[in-house]
Amino acid sequence: MPEIKFYARKAVPVEMHKVKIVQKLSLLPARERLQRMYEAGFNTFGLHNSDIFMDMLTDSGVNAMSDNMQSAMLRADDAYAGSETFYRMRDKLEEIFGIPHLLPAHQGRACEHIIAQHFVKSGNCVIMNYHFTTSKAHVTRLGGHVEELICDEGLITKSQNPFKGNIDLDKVRACVEKEGASNIAYLRIEAGTNLIGGQPISYANMKAATELAKEYGILTVLDASLLQDNLYFIKTREDAMQDKSIREITRMIADLFDIVYFSGRKFGFGRGGGILIRDEKIFHDMEDLIPMFEGFLTYGGMSVKEMEAMIVGFDETMDMDVISQAPQFIRHCVNALDEMGVPVITPAGGLGAHLNAREILSHVPAEEYPAGALVAALYLCGGIRGMERGTMSEERNPDGSERIASVEMVRLAFPRRVFTLGQTEFVIDRVKWLYDHRHLVGGLKFTHEPKTMRFFTGKLTPTSDWPEKLVEAYIADFGEEG
């Protein structure tokens, strides 16, 4: 969509939808938030939804459905086998991506599990532009290893590079020569790199990377979970693509890859997932894994009602008016914070606004999880739940030392069609207040540390009484109920 121009006011993002169903929110008093944070083990995943005012933890499965999506759920065919809902979903995905074979799964990480289970053997290498926590864990669990070959500027937090998610082609070629093409299970491209700030990858870079992989006979895999944001950035930032429609760009991207998988919790606005496979033999070689781990081949662990909603959601994802809203809200938030001097990841990407925790809490040692401390502090200062995306989200080295994250961030996700501009302004205000009081924030240490995916269920405690001091300073400015 063209951005809405304003005459007498500074331009702001304008929602291309109207609100018809609402959910009541409440803002707990600051001292109650402190109590809830202790009960949650200073891990925002441990908070109850009723504890939260602004839930910016994730965009996964919490996007707003349209009226057409909800009405489509009424026609779901709940047959265990041979559901007509499945065939409608398969046909819609083939229409959009041009790939004939679909294996359904209950969400994106289930797709990653099936793909890794089939292709990764002990000692294998998987090349990625950048990892996602589960995509890496599925490979390492099977004895493989991941090579992240993001372009150098991808890890520079403040930048004007429009495509920081691009993979470095020279590094890819060097890796293939070192590992040997036969030892590389696949090349995985994440369209919208989650862990470096939702930064997009260009179509030109995807094309060059897949051509290089095909030169060596290496399978190519696209993680399309965040594709809708990436489509917006390709359309608006890549000169050669601005005369293409979203559907045309989607098909051009899909034509580059052997396998495309997605989380429907992001792509399609529902709760599910799927693996699209071009080669019929590979499809048949993989299909037995679906009944074993997910469900029968015509539902794959998904609710058929969600499947029907996603069929409509796939079409809505091809609508520029729909997919432009979240990136514009994110840009508004990032630019406002940047202008206020708050360290953020730039340029604004997809998925959410990302705070540079390493710079904001430069006084907190890396081993005391600055991003984890910052996200806990933000909840104390406004009931805002974000997600730690830093060292806590990594796993320890074999010797027990911390694997320090390349980028230490707090993600403030913007689920599609959920938040208003007023709520966004509240977030900007509270982040600015916290930044101005950052000296009050200290570190965290684990009291319960799972070996895998510790950021989900781990429990932590502050290294001092900094949370109490922060809350008292907050109350002094905003009052008991603020």
118 phi/psi in degrees, rounded to 5: -80, -40
Q: Mind listing the pLDDT tens digit for each residue in 294-349?
A: 999 999 999 999 999 999 999 999 999 999 999 999 999 999 999 999 999 999 99
Q: What's the whole-number mean pLDDT along residues 215-240?
A: 97
Query: Residue 292, Cβ neighbours under 10 Å: how many?
Result: 9
Radius of gyration over every alpha carbon of the chain, rounded to an integer in angstroms: 22
pLDDT surpasses 90 at 1:
no
Q: Are 45 and 455 in contact (CB under 8 A)?
A: yes
CA geometry: angle 189, 164, 435, nearest 5 deg: 125
Q: Give residue 194's pLDDT.
A: 86
Q: How far is CA 149 from CA 135, 170, 360, in A?
A: 15, 9, 27
SS3 state of residue 387 = strand
**What is the rounded distance in angstroms from the CA atom of residue 93 to the CA atom of residue 268?**
11
What is the sign, positive or negative, of the torsion defined by CA atoms of 300, 302, 304, 308? Answer: negative
Q: Are 379 and 34 in contact (CB under 8 A)?
A: no
Q: Mind listing the pLDDT tens digit for each residue in 105-161?
A: 999 999 999 999 999 999 999 999 998 888 999 999 999 999 999 999 999 999 999
pLDDT surpasses 90 at 431:
yes
pLDDT surpasses 90 at 9:
no
458 phi/psi in degrees, rounded to 5: -65, 155
Q: Which two tokens stand for residue 479?
A: 């009052």
pLDDT surpasses 80 at 2:
no
pTM tops 0.75, yes or no: yes
Count of all residues that appear for the chain in the document: 482
Q: Are 103 and 125 in contact (CB under 8 A)?
A: no
> Crossing angle for the helix pair 30-39 and 370-380, nearest 10 degrees?
140
Average pLDDT score over the chain: 95
pLDDT surpasses 90 at 162:
yes
Q: How far is CA 292 from CA 24, 26, 255, in A?
A: 41, 43, 30
What is the DSSP code (8-state) at residue 346?
S
Name the helix (H) or strand (E) containing 302.
Answer: none
What is the sign, positive or negative, of the torsion defined by CA atoms of 420, 425, 431, 433? Answer: negative
Catalytic residues: 80, 132-133, 223, 266, 389, 455
DSSP β-ladder status, 387-389 and 409-413: antiparallel
Q: Which two tokens stand for residue 28?
A: 């707990």
Q: How far is CA 178 from CA 170, 210, 215, 220, in A?
A: 12, 18, 16, 19
pLDDT surpasses 80 at 238:
yes
Q: Mind listing the pLDDT tens digit for each residue in 53-105?
A: 999 998 888 888 999 999 999 999 999 999 999 999 999 999 999 999 999 99
What lies within 8 Å, CB to CB, of 347 at 6+ separation is: 159, 160, 161, 162, 164, 331, 334
Instruction: Of 125, 141, 139, give the one whose Cα is nearest residue 181.
Output: 125
Region class of 396: left (phi > 0), else alpha (psi between -120 and 50), else beta: beta
Q: Give residue 255's pLDDT.
A: 98
Q: Are 445 and 460 in contact (CB under 8 A)?
A: yes
**What is the rounded distance in angstroms from the CA atom of residue 248 to the CA atom of residue 280?**
24
**What is the rounded distance in angstroms from the CA atom of residue 223 to the CA atom of residue 237?**
21
Q: What is the 3-state secondary structure (H, E, C) of 81-147?
A: CCCHHHHHHHHHHHHHHCCCEEEEECCHHHHHHHHHHHHCCCCCEEEECCCCHHHHHHHHHCCCEEE
**What is the rounded distance in angstroms from the CA atom of residue 231 to the CA atom of residue 224?**
10
**What is the rounded distance in angstroms from the CA atom of residue 209 to the CA atom of residue 203?**
10
Reply yes or no: is the peptide bond before residue 347 cis, omega within 30 of 0.
yes
Q: Among 4-13, 63-72, 352-361, 398-407, name the most confident range.
A: 352-361
Instruction: Of 339, 323, 336, 443, give the one whose Cα is nearest residue 392.
Output: 443
End-to-end CA distance of the chain: 37
Q: Which two tokens stand for residue 115?
A: 């793909």
Instruction: Of 384, 387, 337, 367, give the one whose Cα is nearest residue 442.
Output: 367
Q: Are 192 and 128 in contact (CB under 8 A)?
A: no
39 phi/psi in degrees, rounded to 5: -65, -30
Query: Residue 449, Cβ neighbours under 10 Å: how many?
Result: 13
Query: Residue 8, Cβ neighbours under 10 Å: how many?
Result: 4
Q: Which two tokens stand for residue 270?
A: 């529902």
